[in-house]
Amino acid sequence: MGINLEEQFQQKIDQEIKIEPKDWMPQKYRHTLIRQISQHAHSEVVGMLPEGNWISRAPSLKRKAILLAKIQDEAGHGLYLYSAAETLGISRDEMYEQLHSGKAKYSSIFNYPTLTWADMGAIGWLVDGAAILNQVPLCRTSYGPYARAMIRVCKEESFHQRQGFESLLVLSKGTEDQKRMCQEAINRWWWPCLMMFGPPDDQSPNTIQSMQWKIKRFSNDELRQKFVNMIAEQIKILGMTLPDPDLEWNEETMQYDFGKINWEELKQVIQGNGPCNKERMDARRKAWNDGEWVRDAASAYAAKHSKQL
């Protein structure tokens, strides 16, 4: 008796053969990827909002240009990822509708406010740093279009992280007010960044299956620990501290121990009760509604052009 389609599919996964759009795949695999890739795309687009808040208030022309370039990169990342998700049979309009209706989620981190210029550096260093740890393994994810899209995304995110660190480094060597602003930004973003990796492994319902399908290569807790180990060393260069009294190097595990995360806060933010959830969604819906005439004009032009061919 021959093996069935699901067994053949898993064999391809185990042999590190990429799954392509026209290949047979289990419906749950397809739906898992649509959820993950669309959520990733939404996060890139919504993630432009907290940084866009500082374009007109950047402290110099150089910083303004850097911030504009970064935001433009994030728009491009969203487009790559929406395109990758479309190969799974979902339309871009449907993904937008799911975002605007609240059915689809985006990263919890973007529901926090950017209160000072130092937050731009903290987002680059901490938020994009956490994103890189999540995303580099996705360059080897089992779904071909997603893996290929992530190669460019990761290169650009790596640059964003270095730029964010450089911005904080300048502040850390500045006046007492600038140093304080730097430290306060790190304090604000540290714990939300640890939550970015998702709930603990024993509370993450999708992790086991996603790792079996090699959509994910590392668990939430593994990635979170890598992040803590990395940032706990890098912050020494800034002469700043992380807001965790329990942070301590463990000689036995050769890793940093860290304090307890407030998972209730993550739950509340995901449920729409974060500091900026409503503001972010209102902004996205307004952008969609205000852009209707552009979409209509593009559709009309395409229809007219097709008749002329």
Cβ neighbors of 86 (< 8 A, separation 6 or more) are 92
Mean pLDDT of the residues in the chain: 95
pLDDT at residue 309 in the model: 62
Cβ neighbors of 300 (< 8 A, separation 6 or more) are none
What is the Cα–Cα distance from 45 to 74, expressed in whole angstroms? 7
Instruction: Give every residue of the chain whose pLDDT is below 50, as ranges.
Output: 1
pLDDT at residue 1 in the model: 45
What is the Cα–Cα distance from 252 to 154, expressed in whole angstroms? 32
pLDDT at residue 306 in the model: 82
